[in-house]
Structure 1
Amino acid sequence: MTRHRHADTHDPNGSPVSTTTLDDPAAATVVGRLSRLDRFLPVWIGLAMAAGLLLGRLVPGLDTALDAVQVGGISLPIALGLLVMMYPVLAKVRYDRLDTVTGDRRLLVSSLLLNWLVGPALMFALAWVFLADQPEYRTGLIIVGLARCIAMVIIWNDLACGDREAAAVLVALNSVFQVLAFGLLGWFYLAVLPDWLGLEGAALAVSGWDIAANVLIFLGIPLLAGYLSRRLGERARGRDWYERRFLPRIGPTALHGLLFTIVVLFALQGEAITDRPLDVVRIALPLLVYFAVMWAGSYLLGRAVGLGYARTTTLAFTAAGNNFELAIAVAIGTFGVTSGQALAGVVGPLIEVPVLVALVYVSLWARRRFFPSPAPGRPTEPAPR
């Protein structure tokens, strides 16, 4: 159902938005109220992807230079872009409301079920259906399915007006399970299950400490920075100043960081993508099916268990997204930078980014279509902002 907003409601960039406009069914569409940067996001992302591919092809040695210094197994420029991207969104989270999320068992159980049972199993099945004759690509795709999203999902959730507090909790929950379960699930899906089914298996050598470092860097740092920003900012100047003055100033840097990350990512792998276009298409097909099934299935589950729009949207995006940074790092570290497994990891964001951007707009449409304003006197879902 459409949420009743408080006077301090903000758009994805942190700018105040009229509550009357948001709750009036006759008002302009949500997309129409987005800032220019948000409204044309698909264009900017398309240009960023194209720019990255062109740079990777036209500038000799650029990929080597960008990958020369790494943080947590990931190129330093990508690491910086991810940190810049995540900080503003996590600074918007109201940490005093997290208890309303942790007490929602429907949300937490649904998320764990989708992320750690359904998602990896679905990607395993799709990898074997579409890439049975391509063991390297198949293995890379399964690794992508095991790496649950902890970074870009925060951006997609915010743009789709999902529940920020719920996103923070689910991302943290995924991070804990990622450290504990990634290596075990990799062993199960790449070695044990194929052996049970009489299929060709593979081995995955991955360090739990490396995964923990990845999580600590790409979630821990921006989460701590966001928490301290809110606590210290509100203590020094008050919530009104923090919400109305500080957040609008830092809000746009999240999308700037996203676009910078995309340019660098595709510059690093531009040659691999453009040299094997038919292979990219073969890898892309199961990914398209995966994102569509996971997102739609999560949305249906959220509706079935009685979640409102904001938390249903958060559930859908946290289940559909993947931690491509971790998947690429594991594939390169285990199989080499020129391996088919690494290429499959690279194709992940090539497909995920435009698909999940499109699903942001689908979510905004679904809010108008399937979550109508409540009848007078009927309780509404607590507003996450």
Structure 2
Amino acid sequence: MSLWERYLTVWVALCMFVGVLIGRFLPTVPETLSKFEYFNVSVPTAVLIWLMIFPMMLKIDFTSILNATKKPKGLFLTTTVNWLIKPFTMFAIASFFFLVVFNNFIGHELAREYIAGAVLLGAAPCTAMVFVWSHLTKGDAAYTLVQVSINDILILVLFAPIVAFLLGIGNVDVPMDTLLFSTLLFVVVPLALGFITRNVVVKKKGIEYFEHIFLKKFDGVTIVGLLLTLIIIFSFQGERILNNPFHILLIAVPLIIQNLFIFFISYGGAKACRLPFSIAAPAAMIGTSNFFELSVAVSISLFGLDSGATLVTVVGVLVEVPVMLLLVKIANSTQHWFKGYEY
């Protein structure tokens, strides 16, 4: 592993800390960046996510995408966990902790707001960031892309009805423009750029040059994109985090439990299906991680910037990266469980 990957947890913690400090002491930075938004999506963040995703898109041979669609077990597993298990277990776990365990600390009204934020996270499985976790577990990039593509389609159809059902809200106003624009930015654009770049380089220099020289030039780019993204995210939320340290700890508990539960359900399911590790690890990651851009945007739209629900979606980002890095380590250290499994 490279120096970046070996000490990634340290770099992540430092970037979160730097982001909070920037938000607290240099508020003009996030204020300026917030002006560059389109359909509630931060353009600077989108550019950095491109940096994360683009190197992985370069590795995709489009013939392998067609082959991935012929291997339905992993797709079925991911879809089942994401949409039939995850939103409902998130609601149950959040309700238990906020209404029962922590009710004396936060009160009933705020507990309901926190549950709403947790539901928004649980109903929005990951899209863009899963490419990072797939990269760190040496996952099958083409299969991950197919999983993400199917997930994006299902989000468009299922997100609003599930949120409405769990929260009892009949008129959930989901910003469809944000959904569509996020999908375009975080999947379609980097995929198209990767496809064009790969074809041009292979045509001019050959496949050997592309795989052994050209791709090496992008080593570390994904990690740098992740770290810079975290700085921007936490610069926007620094004041809120500093003003609510105890509640952030309380919110983090059910979110972490949910993440661990979903990961082991998915990972165990992948082993039961005898999926190869390159598919099993990303399949577990996509449900465990969250589409935080969508969750935050919808929460602000429904409940307001200063609501308890929005705070929960922000804490979701705070706990997700360290937890996902832990799960990446667990997956990489247990890949021998999948030895001999082939698709």
Could you give the per-residue CA deviations for residues 200-238 of structure 1, whole angstroms, max 9, x where no partner exists? x68531133331222112211111111222222222221
- Pair 1:234–1:210, CA change in 2 (3 A): same
Partner of 2:146: 169
Matched to 2:121, the amino acid is V
Tell me the distance in 2 between the aligned counterparts of 1:214 and 1:76: 10
Q: 1:337-376 residue pairs with structure 2 within 5 A?
A: 337-368=305-336, 370-372=337-339, 374=340
Alpha carbons 1:180, 1:208 under 8 Å: kept: no
Question: Offset of 1:127 from its aligned partner?
Answer: 1.8
Question: Offset of 1:46 from its aligned partner?
Answer: 1.0
Partner of 2:161: 184
Is 2:25 the partner of 1:64?
Answer: no
Q: Which of the residues 81, 86, 90 maps onto 1:114?
A: 81
Partner of 2:342: 381
Larger radius of gyration: 1
Aligned length: 333
Q: Which of the residues 142, 167, 181 maps onto 1:213?
A: 181
Tell me the distance in 2 between the aligned counterparts of 1:302 and 1:226: 29
Partner of 2:103: none
Q: 1:169-318 residue pairs with structure 2 within 5 A?
A: 169-191=146-168, 204-318=172-286
Tell me the distance in 1 between the aligned counterparts of 2:184 and 2:217: 26
298-307 or 65-74, which deviates more: 65-74
**Secondary structure of 1:93's aligned partner:** coil
Gaps of 5+ in 1: 1-33, 192-200, 375-379
Alpha carbons 1:87, 1:226 under 8 Å: kept: yes
Alpha carbons 2:58, 2:194 under 8 Å: kept: yes
Alpha carbons 1:71, 1:79 under 8 Å: kept: no
Partner of 2:104: none
Partner of 1:50: 17
Question: Offset of 1:140 from its aligned partner?
Answer: 0.8
Question: Offset of 1:66 from its aligned partner?
Answer: 2.2
Query: With structure 2 as the length reference, what TM-score do the two structures score?
Result: 0.93
Tell me the distance in 1 between the aligned counterparts of 2:38 and 2:47: 9
| Greater share of residues in helix | 2
Gaps of 5+ in 2: 100-107
Partner of 2:91: 124
Question: Offset of 1:61 from its aligned partner?
Answer: 3.4
Question: Offset of 1:63 from its aligned partner?
Answer: 2.9
- Pair 1:118–1:179, CA change in 2 (3 A): same
Tell me the distance in 2 between the aligned counterparts of 1:40 and 1:207: 37
Alpha carbons 1:183, 1:207 under 8 Å: kept: no
Is 2:137 the partner of 1:160?
Answer: yes
- Pair 1:273–1:142, CA change in 2 (3 A): same
Aligned CA-pair RMSD = 1.6
Alpha carbons 2:81, 2:287 under 8 Å: kept: yes
Alpha carbons 1:139, 1:202 under 8 Å: kept: no
Alpha carbons 1:146, 1:182 under 8 Å: kept: yes
Query: With structure 1 as the length reference, what TM-score do the two structures score?
Result: 0.83
Could you give the per-residue CA deviations for residues 326-371 of structure 1, whole angstroms, max 9, x where no partner exists? 1111112222222211111111110000000111111111014x23
Alpha carbons 1:183, 1:208 under 8 Å: kept: no
Tell me the distance in 2 between the aligned counterparts of 1:308 and 1:232: 31
Question: Offset of 1:78 from its aligned partner?
Answer: 1.5
Tell me the percent identity. Answer: 31
Matched to 1:344, the amino acid is V
Partner of 2:128: 151
Alpha carbons 2:117, 2:309 under 8 Å: kept: yes
Matched to 1:52, the amino acid is G
Partner of 2:64: 97
Q: 1:6-17 residue pairs with structure 2 within 5 A?
A: none
Alpha carbons 1:81, 1:257 under 8 Å: kept: yes
Q: 1:14-93 residue pairs with structure 2 within 5 A?
A: 34-93=1-60
Question: Offset of 1:165 from its aligned partner?
Answer: 1.5
Alpha carbons 1:82, 1:218 under 8 Å: kept: yes
Could you give the per-residue CA deviations for residues 261-283 of structure 1, whole angstroms, max 9, x where no partner exists? 00000010011011101111111
Tell me the distance in 1 between the aligned counterparts of 2:255 and 2:60: 31
**Secondary structure of 2:10's aligned partner:** helix
Moved over 6 A (4+): none
